[in-house]
Amino acid sequence: MVAHRLDRVEARRIAVRAQLLDAGRPSDLLAVVDRLTFLQLDPTAAVAPSADLVAWTRLGGAYEPEHLLSAVERDRTLFEHRAMVRPMTDLGLYRAEMAAWPQDARRRDWLQANERFRGYVLDLLRASGPLLSREVPDRSEVPWPSTGWTNNRNVTQMLEFLAARGEIAISGRVGRQRRWDLAERVYPVGAPVVPVGDAVRLRDERLLRSLGIARSSVVGEAGEPAVVEGTSGGWRVDRAAIGGSFAGRTALLSPFDRLVHDRKRALELFGFEYHLEMYVPKAKRRWGYFALPVLHHDELVGKVDAVADRKASILRVHAVHEDVPFGAEVAEAVRAELEALASWLGLTAVEHAHC
């Protein structure tokens, strides 16, 4: 098959449209998650939890965090698994791998050594679930060994392992704490199980549709080969995304947003350099603890270092880093997005450090 030849402008626009970041905003959370394939959960909330920020960036002020909670906990149209929220209709693409987990001897041996503990947890959830991890007594026979933070965290590890195997599932949350229950009470009964090979292929196809264009190392053989001017080979493109019209907008992105999550792709397609600096000593940060990438039409033009001061009801903007000079139009668009973000967060003002 002859590779599609794309210039960088077309490649960028394919990526932006695929991620629902062009001017035609979607109107439904489920449609957003279905298109993106998942929302990543992360406890960092300097501005807002990343999953909520990603949803707001697509849906605008019509989105409320309660919508995500409701979809997971009550409607069961989404499910949480391994720090991702996915459409329940995609569950069958993961069940075969769940059933075969774990593949490594270390986890398999620990589960076998704690078979009675496993049975106890399942029986407890059957009788009393859903439960928080602190409500599950540690009856392990062999402690979980680790040189990291999970050492001897036996209840947490057992719950994580049983969820990875598809025996239990997250039924909801109390704050940041997960509530666990039997999978049969959370997942649809009789949901189809797609064989692993077919599931991987379908997941790759869905992932490419959500990205528009990506390396084959990310999406396998999904889509069709492409060459992007000024970059090395190995691209795959969603054929249906080529040649569409484009109308852009300005958006403040989560550092975990999939438009920028692949830092090499962002550099090659957008010329955008970015590193998440929350683990970098303050004195060595270039852009800020949780700097928000700024998208303007089909370009990533800068970063905003901001934090939500909820006690003072202020969105504090420590700095706006312009990768390219903004000009009046871009500066006004960024200001409007900051005002919209503050309003969505329920904050009464935006305060800039230079004011």
Q: What are phi and psi of 94, to 5 degrees?
A: -120, -15
> What is the Cα 175 distance to its own chain's centre?
19
* Distance in angstroms (rounded) separating the CA atoms of residues 168 and 185: 9
- The third-level CATH classification (topology) of the domain covering 94-185 is Arc Repressor Mutant, subunit A (1.10.10)
For the chain, report the end-to-end CA distance as a whole number of angstroms. 57
Q: Structure tokens of 59? A: 């849906």
pLDDT tens digits in sequence order for the chain, 355 residues long: 799 999 999 999 999 999 999 999 998 999 999 999 999 999 888 999 999 999 999 999 999 999 999 999 999 999 999 999 999 999 999 999 999 999 999 999 999 999 999 999 999 999 998 999 999 999 999 999 988 889 899 999 999 999 999 999 999 999 889 999 999 999 998 888 999 999 999 999 999 999 999 999 999 999 999 999 999 989 999 999 999 899 999 999 999 999 999 999 999 999 999 999 999 999 999 999 999 999 999 999 999 999 999 999 999 999 999 999 999 999 999 999 999 999 999 999 999 986 4
Q: What is the pTM of this model?
A: 0.94
Would you list the domain boundaries of the chain?
94-185
Q: Which residues pair with 307 in a beta bridge?
A: 316
Residue written as token pair 């990205």: 211
Helices (H) and strands (E) in the chain, counts: 13, 15
Query: Nearest to residue 133, comparing CAs of 114, 111, 118, 155?
Result: 155
